[in-house]
Amino acid sequence: MEVKTSLLDNMIGVGDMVLLEPLSEDSFLENLKKRFDHNEIYTYIGSVVISMNPYRSLPIFTPEKVEEYRNRNFYELSPHIYALADEAYRSLRDQDKDQCILITGESGAGKTEASKLVMSYVAAVCGKGQEVNKVKEQLLQSNPVLEAFGNAKTVRNDNSSRFGKYMDIEFDFKGDPLGGVISNYLLEKSRVVKQPRGERNFHVFYQLLSGASDDTLKKLKLHRDFSKYNYLSLDSAIVNGLDDAANFRTVRNAMQIVGFMEDEVQSVLELVAAVLKLGNIEFKPESRCNGTDESRIKDKNDLKEMCELLGIEQSVLERAFSYRTVEAKMEKVSTTLNVAQAYYARDALAKNLYSRLFSWLVTRINESIKVSDAQAKTRHKVMGVLDIYGFEIFEDNSFEQFIINYCNEKLQQIFIELTLHEEQEEYIREGIEWTNIDMNLHLLSNNQNGILAMLDEECLRPGTVTDETFLDKLNTICAEHQHFESRLSKNSKFLNDHSLPHNCFRIQHYAGKVLYRVEGFVDKNNDLLYRDLSQAMYKANHSLIKQLFPEGNPSKVNLKRPPTAGFQFKASVGTLMKNLQTKNPNYIRCIKPNDKKASHIFTESLVRHQVRYLGLMENVRVRRAGYAFRQAYEPCLERYKMLCKRTWPHWRGPEREGVEVLMTDLQVPADEFSYGRSKIFIRNPRTLFFLEERRRQCLHDLASLIQKIYRGWKCRSHFLLLKKSQIVVAAWYRRYAQQKKYQRIKSATTVVQSYTRGWQARKLLRELKYQKRCEEAVTTIAAYWHGTQVRREYRKFFRANAGKKIYDFTIQRIMQKYFLGLKSNMPSMSPIDKNWPARPYLFLEGVHTELRRIFHLWRCKKYRSRFTEERKAVYEEKLEASEIFKDKKALYPSSVSQPFKGDYLEISKNPKYQKLSSAMDEKVLLADVVNKINRANGKVGQITGTIFTIRLACTGQVKASVPLPDLTSVSVSTQSDGFFALKLKEVRETCLDPNLQRY
């Protein structure tokens, strides 16, 4: 029988906040903290998952955990994100319901990781096969690519998504993935040109500079030093904390898996390099004859390299940075750009270039992961995963934070609406009476005349439009709105409070009040790119640039103003909301426990703020508005059947009747529960806790009974085993005793036999030895006699003929052995190696010495033959210096290894001596810094073919000069110093004491 578990088993705190008793914000936070301290990072609110970021790795995401939650009831195991993913996937596969998983929370709460976990779980539990695995791998590997180009390190999060992402994954009727579509929302492209203190630009810039090979960087005309690029702030480059080199390799591999061709990857990297080069272009003012100011590029090197990367004519792009052409009907007006306008145009081009590249990447990934045309003809099941920026409240909130918070208001509204709708549908489906709850949000941004609409009107109206005029319009229209406050609005309670600046306004969001600084709202909403820059980009020969700037085509000039950033974002959010409303929602609410990105730290005030703006308490109240807990009849009966004798151990009838019998026997008040069509609904958590307490007591009693029966059975079994063992042991012992007795008799017989055979063998051996000794004596006597005869004959022969020949042969063998030994022990080919093998015989002394001399001369010749002309000249100089200074000057030995350079200052290459180089007409044979005694330093001594001069290093002015013919001699001291003196032909001697520091 399978052992079934439940959410209520071994529960730390309360696993489902709906069961929290008493329900208050403090008890809510205390329960979260208790579970967080015990590494329980997931908690339920009904079917909503609350996820606490642990800021460390936990062993709860293993393949074993995936199998544990696979095909299990949502409340069957402890809370986990895998339970929600499994519930959504099974509803999609088995019930043919389109699903969406909404992941919300502020930056650093773990939304991106949560979306990865959901996708990895679905990939693990769906079907297998070569084609299916390829689709799954492409869907999963799209994440590293988009994170590299769309994520950045912020003060709150090392991998913060600076764009919103919604992925629709399509499945076939078996539940296998076929492909997907990714939608992106509002890339924070202002980060390209400027980052807050302590934050980084997008990951790809740092990954490229850290992880690309030297050859790749050379092709892209880049350097590894982050500080050389204006768009990469120095402090963010130093405070790294990420393995950018390894991540770059991961991104390159992911792009290959997704389907990017090698030339496409190279084109993308070229555009990234172009953005970095673009940030290094600087401008200087220049006045024209008519009195107007225009801008000029200071250093054109970066502009040149950027144009080479993109295939653009340098003059075309240079003119686009200096002039702007305004077209109105049939008239064109060209105006010059001042420095501020030129910098604005440069940054606008950088932001547009990067944002369009990012949009192209998303489109290119969609082409790879889309459903094939053959499969697109039939309807598929869809699961959407939304990972979008959370509600943001910074010290300085601008246009980006406003539209991010606008999107979060929309998501909060749809969350409340769908939660109420889902709750109402379940009550109606189960036939339970439902009481409507009014939880509408009165959001300022929902109005037809909302702030985004007013911003668009202000941007499109004729006349002078500034951030101040926009704020005046807000003060006029929204003055009476209860959620709007500014320094001049009638609704403000801070008319005399200087903490609310003139250029700011405050909005009461569902998450709290946020102060927005109006500076930059108009420019960021307009997001204008001068037409001259678009046309310059369109003229590029780069394969990708023309696709990114189609409006630059001169034959298709569109004079219509492009839509504003706010309008585009509002439209895309509206489309997203309509898409979400067609699917069954599943929610993951992410919370970060602290701002330090550290584990085991729970900041109560921070978590309290997130609980409020995520609306978690409201969600609990919605679930508890009617019945706090609901459960299907079968698992309810299975869990509590031991509490009633009529249902224990087995109930043979319908599950609902069994539950009715159980509740009647327990005497639970009728108003504490209701019977639905397939579930029992329990009104108060205390009723559930009463059932759990009775169950724990009953389990304790049952455990005692089982232990008692088990101990009796164990004792009886042990006794019977001992009895049986005693019989077996006795039988085996008797057998063993008889075997030992037989072995002893057999052993004694063997010993007697062996002694008898040994006596007979020794007797035979003595007889054989005697016979052998007799035969050996005869042989020995004969051998001695024959030997005497042979030696006598040999002496006669040697005296007559062989004496001299044997001597010559001996000498020949000695010399042969000598030369072979010399060959195997030859010293190295180095001329300074003084090793030589020792002579073996005294009479070889002369030959031995002569051979050593000849070998040394030969290897010296070999060593000299390898010299080049330059090296030969160097050694000749060293030889001449040795004749002059060896054993005469103490500093000489330390100078032997230093080559003679002559021009030690490298006057022609060193920009410090530019004036000194231009002042010399002849070739410089020797140049170095000299210091005269009791005089100022900073002088340079030079020797040419005709003259010796001393000049000032900064100006090249001649301080002293002596023609070489006037010199009679040069003297140096014998000590370890750099003093030398020049002697002239005249009677008056001038003694110079420069410290050359070299010879």
Q: Is 111 annotated as a binding residue?
A: yes
Tokens found for residue 695: 């169950």
CA 678 to each of CA 18, 339, 783: distance values in angstroms, whole numbers, following the listed order: 20, 73, 121
Distance CA 159, CA 758 (A): 92
The number of residues in the chain equals: 999
Q: Which listed residue (392, 422, 519, 672) is catalytic?
A: 392
Q: Is 431 annotated as a binding residue?
A: no
Q: Which listed residue (107, 115, 564, 647) is catalytic?
A: 107
DSSP sequence for 763-796? HHHHHHHHHHHHHHHHHHHHHHHHHHHHHHHHHH
| Radius of gyration for the chain, computed over Cα atoms and rounded to the nearest angstrom | 48
DSSP sequence for 637-653? HHHHGGG-TTTSS---S
What is the β-pairing status of strands 42-45 and 584-591?
A: unpaired
Q: Which listed residue (142, 160, 352, 405) is catalytic?
A: 160
**For residue 832, what are the β-bridge partners?**
none
Tokens found for residue 364: 């290119």
Q: Is 2 annotated as a binding residue?
A: no
Distance CA 631, CA 362 (A): 43
Q: Which listed residue (43, 51, 154, 161) is catalytic?
A: 161
Distance CA 60, CA 37 (A): 15
User: Residue-wise over 70-100: b if at least 16 C-beta within 10 A, else e?
Assistant: eebbbbebbbbbbbbbbbbbbbbbeeeebbb
157 is catalytic: yes
Phi first, then psi: what are they for 151, rounded to 5°? -110, 155
Distance CA 371, CA 386 (A): 20
Q: Which listed residue (47, 104, 143, 157) is catalytic?
A: 157
Work out the burial of residue 54: count CB atoms within 10 Å of its CB; fewer than 13 is exposed, 13-18 middle, 19 or more buried: middle
Check: CB of residue 202 under 8 Å from CB of residue 357: no
164 is catalytic: no
Q: Is 107 annotated as a binding residue?
A: yes
160 is catalytic: yes
Residue that is written with structure tokens 């340079």 in the block: 940
Q: If residue 423 lies in a helix (H) or strand (E), which one and from where to where?
A: helix 399-430
User: Residue-wise over 770-794: b if at least 16 C-beta within 10 A, else e?
Assistant: eeeeeeeeeeeeeeeeeeeeeeeee
Check: CB of residue 39 under 8 Å from CB of residue 58: yes
CA 34 vs. chain centroid, Å, equals: 32
Phi first, then psi: what are they for 333, rounded to 5°? -125, 125
**Edge-to-edge strand ranges of the sheet holding 504-509:** 484-486, 504-509, 512-517
Contacts of 646 (CB under 8 A, 6+ apart): 661, 665
Q: Is 106 annotated as a binding residue?
A: yes
| Type of residue at 533 | L
Q: Is 342 annotated as a binding residue?
A: no
Distance CA 892, CA 964 (A): 25
Q: Which listed residue (13, 15, 108, 150) is catalytic?
A: 108
Contacts of 874 (CB under 8 A, 6+ apart): 899, 900
108 is catalytic: yes
CA 858 vs. chain centroid, Å, equals: 62
Q: Is 110 annotated as a binding residue?
A: yes
Q: Is 13 annotated as a binding residue?
A: no
161 is catalytic: yes
Residues annotated within a binding site: 105-112
Residues annotated within a binding site for ATP: 105-112
Catalytic residues: 107-108, 112, 157, 160-161, 390, 392
